[in-house]
Amino acid sequence: MATKIVVPTIGESVTEGVVAAWLKQPGDWVDRDEPVLELETDKVTMEIAAPAAGVMGDHTAAEGDTVEVGAELGAIDETAPKPETAEVAAPTPEPAAAEPVTSNGAAAASAPSTPPSRTDQATPAAAATNGVVQATSLARKVAEEHGVNLASVTGTGPGGRVREQDILAYVQSGATPDAGGRRVAAGPSRVTSRERMTPLRQRVASRLVEAQQTAAMLTTFNECDMSRVMALRAAHKEAFAEKHGVGLGFMSFFVKAVVRGLKAQPNVNSYIVEGDDGKPAIQSHDYCDIAVAVASPKGLVVPVLRNAESLSFAEVESGIKDLAVRARDGKITLEEMSGGTFTITNGGIFGSLMSTPILNPPQSGILGMHAIKKRAVEDPANPGSVVIRPMMYLALSYDHRIVDGEGAVKFLVAVKDAIENPDTLLLDL
């Protein structure tokens, strides 16, 4: 009896996905609930598990295919006997060129963060089974187009499987194949490449355009003195980490400061929605679900920290760390990225000095944090004198249809005051 593998129902707003990678090939034995493929949607990348134990049959959907919810992807033969476990020695990898070559410095789109080594050492071989290099069908196609020997490419996929990105990174390294498929030094690269835009990246792109086309978006700026937060953090970070098992960062201070600003200016924490009569209405929230922008390998994601107003500093830090790690690992769930009444994005970790963040629809506000830089400013304790202080620019982008300029400025001032007087946050003053 064969059990079908189908695209499961993922969420109300998700109707299709793209087969990113098959983790099991026809003829492989799979156990029940063992992941057999990765599916990319415009929200998350998820693993599809085997509905039964047995031998994998032919794939009815290839890598790169767009499939709808409920579509059949393959089948598992439950009646097939489980093969005896046997180790097959992998073939000796074909060595790469012995002499080092120089890259032109370009990087292929979506190339892995650590490209294949190109020193005088032999390039590590890709994973092989029964003498056949394990690679995705798309990777084989790209390798054939560029004349690349798959055995000389290091695979970064599951189990060392060679992916399209591995081939592109290898080609972009600026070398050309010889008759044996090995890479030898060449002149400056003129290689161009194209790859499919992931559903997540497509979704991010459409939402950013939607925000600019539908909202009356405006940005207001301020700056805050980080001296007292930095001193407080330095004095207590070791004890905090020892007691709570998580580091004390700046994000917990900003989350709590944003909560204060949202309570003072409720419109910044509201949406414009369609009312029962079909006309615009304002949806208010008595809670603060803070979305935190995280840069993942597949694109920007915004997991949500629920009821941030009721969380302690330690709970905020633990929650953000957990969401960020799982978002970067592709383990975040659709539910954890849904909702959110306000967003915080921190471009400062990448060195951004100032920016105008784009709204995350349907939210009405997003706070941009930036790099901390020492600057000459007036000493508030001694007006007329100048001191050097660690300063951060803050940017609030807001929807002017629902948030007036006065409310936006007052919100940002509330955040600034809370950061410059962190004791008021700790004492809930």
Query: Which residues in 164-200 are b (16+ Cβ under 10 Å) and which e?
Result: bbbbbbbbbbbbbbeeeebbeeeeebeeebeeeebbb
How many angstroms separate the CA atoms of 399 and 348, rounded?
23
**Which helix H or strand E contains 406, and what residues bound it?**
helix 405-420
User: Cα(142)–Cα(155) distance, rounded to whole angstroms?
Assistant: 14
CA distance 65 to 73: 10
Q: Residue 420: enclosing H or E segment and its boundaries?
A: helix 405-420
Hey, what are 333's tokens? 């769930």
At 254, the amino acid letter reads F
Rounded alpha-carbon distances, angstroms, from residue 116 to 19, 339, 365: 25, 39, 42
Q: What are all long-range contacts of 327-330, with beta carbons under 8 Å and residues at least 24 apart? A: 327/294, 327/296, 327/301, 327/303, 328/294, 328/295, 328/296, 328/297, 330/44, 330/45, 330/296, 330/297, 330/298
Locate all alpha helices (DSSP H) within 282-376, ordered by sequence. Answer: 313-328
For residue 343, the cross-strand partners are: 291, 366
Q: Give the separation between CA 269 and CA 342, rounded to whole angstroms.
A: 6
Closest CA to 219 of 359, 423, 28: 359
Segments of 134-240 assigned E as strands: 176-177, 183-184, 217-225
Report d(CA 253, CA 344) in Å as an integer.
Answer: 12
Cα–Cα distance, 110 to 211 (Å, whole number) = 25
Indicate the residue type of 390.
P
370 is annotated as an active-site residue: no
What Rg, from alpha-carbon coordinates, does the chain have? 26
Q: Which of 370, 400, 423, 428 is catalytic?
A: 400
Would you say 342 and 268 are in contact if contact means Cβ atoms under 8 Å apart? yes
Question: Is 146 marked active-site?
Answer: no
Q: Which of 42, 404, 417, 423 is catalytic?
A: 404
Q: How many CB atoms lie within 10 A of CB 110?
A: 19
Q: Do residues 149 and 112 touch, judged by C-beta distance below 8 A?
A: no
CA-to-CA distance for 257 and 303, rounded, in angstroms? 19
Instruction: Find residue 217's DSSP bridge partners.
Output: 399
Catalytic site positions: 400, 404
